[in-house]
Structure 1
């Protein structure tokens, strides 16, 4: 699934969940809110009628006069023909009844319950106790749509409670307003979700378009093309990423060009150097004069030194081009490699009368690069070791240490000895190329390990740590 599609699905999922919770909450509150509004209206009407009834009271008793009865009956039979926000009201749904101080019904607008005891109903019972009285009762207990909401108000004469008047509103009269509110909520909620969805589609398209432009640019760079950097309006993370990719591309191009030039230069110089060295060796066989022999020896020595430097530069360039080593590593015997190095450096070791001490052990590493790293560590140890001493190679777990006895590294150089072309002079020898430890450090990084040099007792210890 593409990024834009994932963003759209994730966005719509969150939007849908939030919309569902909000609509569910609003739908759950729609009916109670309409009922609360109707109840508030009934409270006002009940108290108004209570004052009208109280005006006819005599000697602390409720009197249902013929005029009052006739007026309430006419009220129940009216046809309002009202248009309430698009809903037609053609009849009066309010039920009115009046009870005395004992709860006996004195008047019923439906003419059904006069003379009955309503003192057990909450609206009457609570009002007679001086509290707010209200109840909801179903005419059919099994049918929720038959519920009727009653609100009562006290009838007082000179401060004394002489009866209760109750007004009832059937749920069927309120239901059309609830349904209309729910329809509006569904309509506007659906429109809001649709607008949000369209906004999400537009946002996903916009982000996907910008990301795709950046992706095509990166792919073109990876294919060695030279595309123009993408330009984005505004300043955001995608533009910052595009600038970072462009900067990385330029640095990589500059580095690749330098590596190619170094590789080309070293290859071009090897043949002339081999010719110079060959000529020097021929001259050394022919020249007998001591001064000229020193000259030809110097030509041979320097040409060999330059050839070694070129070999190291080529090896360093190959290492730097590697992004990573092969995932499959092998068990490399350190002692076998040390013996191989000893045979190849026999003359140098004999000249300084150096001994090699190595324990049996192996490391998990890429064989070719590890061999290069170990040989460079041993070459460095041999170069700085004092005469008649021992170079110690120790393997333990995933750590290799090479220790020699000789001059220590000055404090100012401890952090720089692994830098490229940085070297310290060895006693009685020329300054080296400064590439050996840099190559070891690069190999350690390729393996995911580390190289650390530190001064040990009367010498230097190089610690190469590889991941297990």
Structure 2
């Protein structure tokens, strides 16, 4: 699944869940809120009527005067013809009844319940106890639509409770307002949801379009093409990433061009150098004068040094082109490698009267690159070791150390000795190419390890740590 599709699906999922929770909450609260509003209005009306009825009380008793009865009956029969926010109200739905201090109905606006005992109903029962009285009762117990909400108010005369007046509002009178509220919520909620979905789709398309442009550019770069960098309006992470990819591409192209030139140059120089060295060796055999011998020896020595430098440059180029080492690793015996190095450097070791001490440890590593790293560390130790001393090689766990006795590394050079082409002069020797420790550091990085060089007081210790 593409990125834009994933973003769109994830956005729809989140929006759907949020919309469902919100609408469920709103629809669940719509009816209670309308009923609460209606109840609050009934409370005000009931208390108003209670005061009107109390004004006719006599000797602490409720008196239903003909004028009051006629007024309440006329109220029940009114046709208000009101337009309430688009809903027509053509009749009075409020049911009014008045009970005495014992709960007996003294007046009923429907004219059906006068004389009955309503003291068991919560609206009357609770109000007679001095509490807030209200109830909801169904006229048909099997039909929720027939429920009627009643609210009562106490009738007092000189502070004494002498009766209760109750007002009832049928659920059918409230239902149109609830239905309209739910309908509006459904319409406007659905419209808002559609707008959000449209905006989400546009956002996913916009992001996907920008990412696809960047992806095509990166793929073209990976295929060695030379596409023009994509241009993005505004400033965001995608534009920053495009600029970073462009900068990386230019650096890689420069580096690749430099590596190709170095490789080409080294290959082209090896044959002439071999010819020069061969010619020097032939001349050395033919020349008899000592002065000319010095020139031929210098030609042979310098051609050999240049050939060694080219070999190191090629080895360094091969290492830098590797993204990672092959997965194969094996237990490499350090003692065997050291013996091989000693055979190849026999004359140099004998010239400086150096000995090599090595333990029987092994390292888990890629054999060829570890051999190259160890040979370079030993060559570096040999170059700086004082005559008549010992080079110590120790392998333990995942750590390889090479110690020599000789001049220490100056403090200013400790952080730079592993840089390419940076070298320090050895006593009585020419300056080296500065590639040996750089190759060891590159090999350590390819293994995921580290190379450090430290002064030991009477020499230098090189420590190669590989991951276990």
- TM class by smaller structure: over 0.9
Deviation per CA, 1:139-183: give whole Å up to 9, x if none: 344543332211112233455433221001122221222122112
Bigger mean CA offset, 16-25 vs 249-258: 16-25
**CA-CA distance at 1:232 after TM superposition:** 0.6
Q: What residue in structure 2 maps to residue 306 of structure 1?
A: 306
Q: What residue in structure 2 maps to residue 102 of structure 1?
A: 102
> Quick check: 1:422 aligned with 2:422?
yes
Secondary structure at the aligned position of 1:152 is classed as strand
Q: What residue in structure 2 maps to residue 48 of structure 1?
A: 48
Q: What residue in structure 2 maps to residue 373 of structure 1?
A: 373
> Quick check: 1:344 aligned with 2:344?
yes
Aligned mates of 1:141, 1:397 — CA distance in 2: 86
Aligned mates of 2:14, 2:55 — CA distance in 1: 62
Q: What residue in structure 2 maps to residue 278 of structure 1?
A: 278
Bigger mean CA offset, 132-141 vs 322-331: 132-141
Aligned mates of 2:366, 2:219 — CA distance in 1: 30
Aligned mates of 2:4, 2:331 — CA distance in 1: 47
Secondary structure at the aligned position of 2:335 is classed as helix
Deviation per CA, 1:262-287: give whole Å up to 9, x if none: 11111111111111111111110110
Aligned mates of 1:96, 1:328 — CA distance in 2: 95
Q: What residue in structure 1 maps to residue 169 of structure 2?
A: 169
Aligned mates of 2:143, 2:328 — CA distance in 1: 76
Bigger mean CA offset, 168-177 vs 114-123: 114-123
Aligned mates of 1:135, 1:402 — CA distance in 2: 95
Secondary structure at the aligned position of 2:153 is classed as strand
Deviation per CA, 1:309-334: give whole Å up to 9, x if none: 11111111111111111123222222
Secondary structure at the aligned position of 1:182 is classed as helix
Q: What residue in structure 2 maps to residue 137 of structure 1?
A: 137
**CA-CA distance at 1:385 after TM superposition:** 1.3
> Quick check: 1:392 aligned with 2:392?
yes
Q: What residue in structure 2 maps to residue 116 of structure 1?
A: 116
Aligned mates of 2:334, 2:79 — CA distance in 1: 108
RMSD of the alignment, in Å?
1.8
Aligned mates of 2:328, 2:37 — CA distance in 1: 77
Q: What residue in structure 1 maps to residue 455 of structure 2?
A: 455
Per the normalisation by structure 2, the TM-score is 0.95
Q: What residue in structure 2 maps to residue 15 of structure 1?
A: 15
Aligned mates of 2:328, 2:12 — CA distance in 1: 44
Q: What residue in structure 1 maps to residue 404 of structure 2?
A: 404
Q: What residue in structure 1 maps to residue 127 of structure 2?
A: 127
Aligned mates of 1:178, 1:363 — CA distance in 2: 81
Secondary structure at the aligned position of 2:332 is classed as strand
Secondary structure at the aligned position of 1:371 is classed as helix
Q: Structure 1: which 5+ residue stretches go unaligned?
A: none
Structure-to-structure mapping, 1:174-323, within 5 angstroms: 174-323=174-323
> Quick check: 1:330 aligned with 2:330?
yes
Secondary structure at the aligned position of 1:111 is classed as coil
Aligned mates of 2:139, 2:327 — CA distance in 1: 81
Secondary structure at the aligned position of 2:50 is classed as helix
Secondary structure at the aligned position of 2:93 is classed as coil
Secondary structure at the aligned position of 1:185 is classed as helix
Bigger mean CA offset, 76-85 vs 357-366: 76-85
**CA-CA distance at 1:467 after TM superposition:** 0.6
**CA-CA distance at 1:80 after TM superposition:** 4.1
Aligned mates of 1:301, 1:123 — CA distance in 2: 119
**CA-CA distance at 1:222 after TM superposition:** 0.8
Q: What residue in structure 2 maps to residue 444 of structure 1?
A: 444
Q: Structure 2: which 5+ residue stretches go unaligned?
A: none
Aligned mates of 2:346, 2:328 — CA distance in 1: 33
**CA-CA distance at 1:190 after TM superposition:** 1.5
> Quick check: 1:465 aligned with 2:465?
yes
Per the normalisation by structure 1, the TM-score is 0.95
Deviation per CA, 1:22-57: give whole Å up to 9, x if none: 112211211111001111221222223223323433
Secondary structure at the aligned position of 1:35 is classed as helix
Secondary structure at the aligned position of 2:52 is classed as helix
Deviation per CA, 1:64-88: give whole Å up to 9, x if none: 2334333333433444444433334
Bigger mean CA offset, 14-23 vs 282-291: 14-23
Secondary structure at the aligned position of 2:338 is classed as helix
Deviation per CA, 1:181-203: give whole Å up to 9, x if none: 11211221111111111111100
Secondary structure at the aligned position of 2:51 is classed as helix
Secondary structure at the aligned position of 2:464 is classed as strand
Q: What residue in structure 2 maps to residue 363 of structure 1?
A: 363
Deviation per CA, 1:104-141: give whole Å up to 9, x if none: 11011223322222233332233334443222223344
Aligned mates of 1:302, 1:363 — CA distance in 2: 36
